[in-house]
Chain A
């Protein structure tokens, strides 16, 4: 096909290190992963070590690759929602909503305000759950177990809210094209209210355990730092980019789902190190709480889904009584509704950064091409640069604070 030689050399890191004569005698290769208790997922890192210092690293990814983009080319649109769940499974509702908003843009569906607000509440709950996982496990990796157990009961509480909204906990499949599948139930409202009342105390106590903790600060400050220029060049988005001092947030730059109605701050760091990433996520949780509070206070009345019978699955009782509802139910479930021809790019602010969907539709029942922008996949390649010269234990917490999710990485 071509004359370009393809380089396939697993020892590239070692060779690079051996060019530097200083290390040549006492280098060792350490295989960290693919399954290692400290990496929280399936990641393989081939580290070249000089004693305790990392000289070079080479990542291998793709251990849980499930060919989402290929599968999506066969499935009807509504069945792709379940694929998006399994990308960043720590904040699945954000991926679900991102996909719904993308398709709504293609179909030209106008979503009612109430549905927008419920979506915002769910997305912010997902962001809180995501940041709880990232920050509390970062604390575990530095040796602090207590805070993790303390805040994880609130993640459990958030999963109960998901359950109330969609019946599922982890892989949520929440929402439909055109809105939500059901309105906020009284139980869900009570649970959200409980979260708003009691979670801030827990979160500030967790912050108190870590933020000014001498041991925690010594472990995380000036560890795994990256400059704003390099971070942008590496395609960082989300909290990892904001920790370097760049205030890029999709919710503000390209508002979707009525985010322009809410008032919130974008926390930024300065040095982009592990401590800054931790602090940015801490503060983002406070902002998310504030957004949920605003959304609950100003929740508009009205329908919770758009009037789009061609795409929105009708209520089950209607299916038995109403001829049109039965027809639409059948057509939607069998995936017999053709989408218009078009190309759409829509992104949302996920737990780790910009989750983007580039959808090319040729007018058929499934996408011609669906490219998912997965933030972990793009920024994880900077890991080598971030850990070079640091110790192995620092590399572990750098990875932990970057919140690389294997499902999102490998699609």
Chain B
């Protein structure tokens, strides 16, 4: 089962306009879909008689501040243990309304992964049973991995040395 077969099957099933952004990174197939396609696609891959993508390896949030209307993204890492093939599915949502459907109905492990993506990027997963912060303090009112919160510049010069005992 090769990457071409997966692409052909997915395009035949969902149509060329739904499955796009197809590329290979170091042999790892990447496809991009619209947010509303995520759940049907995941179910299809899970139940497919030969593909059997039944293992959710990881779920990563990402922020591209300059991509208008597609600022926040979620990257799903799937693994078909039987065929030993990995697949990455990407989807992007606007930062003004960052809502994605939850995968907790399909994968139990998606629970904390989605909480982590919510915690750090503010992506809201509709239908999630317990969408609260997981690693950060509950009292925080921002999502720290977004690019608008840069870390301190290593070369800044405006610190007053006396305040730091130097």
Contact = CB atoms under 8 A, between A and B. Distances in A.
A284 B55 CA distance: 23
A7 B62 contact: no
A70 B130 contact: no
Contact of A8 (B57, B77, B116, B138): B138
A1 B122 contact: yes
Nearest to B146: A70
Given A345-B28, A369-B62, A358 B75 contact: yes
Contact of B98 (A1, A6, A234, A343): A1
Given A235-B55, A235-B56, A369-B60, A4 B124 contact: yes
A342 B60 contact: no
Nearest to B145: A70
B86 interface: yes
B33 interface: no
Contacts of B58: 356, 358, 371, 373, 378
B40 interface: no
Contacts, number: 107
A6 B132 contact: yes
B81 A2 contact: no
A231 to B, nearest CB: 10
A8, A235, A344, A382, most chain B CB atoms within 10 A: A235
Contact of A356 (B77, B109, B145, B151): B77
A7 B131 contact: yes
A161 to B, nearest CB: 32
Contact of A360 (B62, B81, B99, B113): B62
Given A1-B97, A4-B131, A8-B132, A71 B107 contact: no
B25 A342 contact: yes
A74 B151 contact: yes
Contacts of A74: 150-151, 154
Nearest to B96: A1
Interface string A155-196: 000000000000000000000000000000000000000000
Contacts of A62: 133-136
B20 interface: no
Interface residues of A, number: 46
Interface stretch (A21-29, A121-129, A246-254, A290-298): A246-254
Nearest to B73: A369
A360, A371, A410, most chain B CB atoms within 10 A: A371
A337 to B, nearest CB: 16
Contacts of B111: 381
B151 A71 contact: yes
Nearest to B88: A345
B132 A7 contact: yes
A254 B97 CA distance: 38
Contacts of A4: 99, 124, 126, 131
Nearest to A362: B64
A144 interface: no
A71 B144 CA distance: 11
A373 B132 contact: no
B129 interface: yes
22 contacts: A1-B97, A4-B99, A7-B132, A62-B133, A62-B134, A62-B135, A67-B144, A105-B26, A232-B54, A233-B107, A235-B55, A235-B107, A253-B81, A253-B84, A342-B25, A345-B26, A345-B28, A354-B57, A373-B77, A378-B109, A381-B108, A382-B108
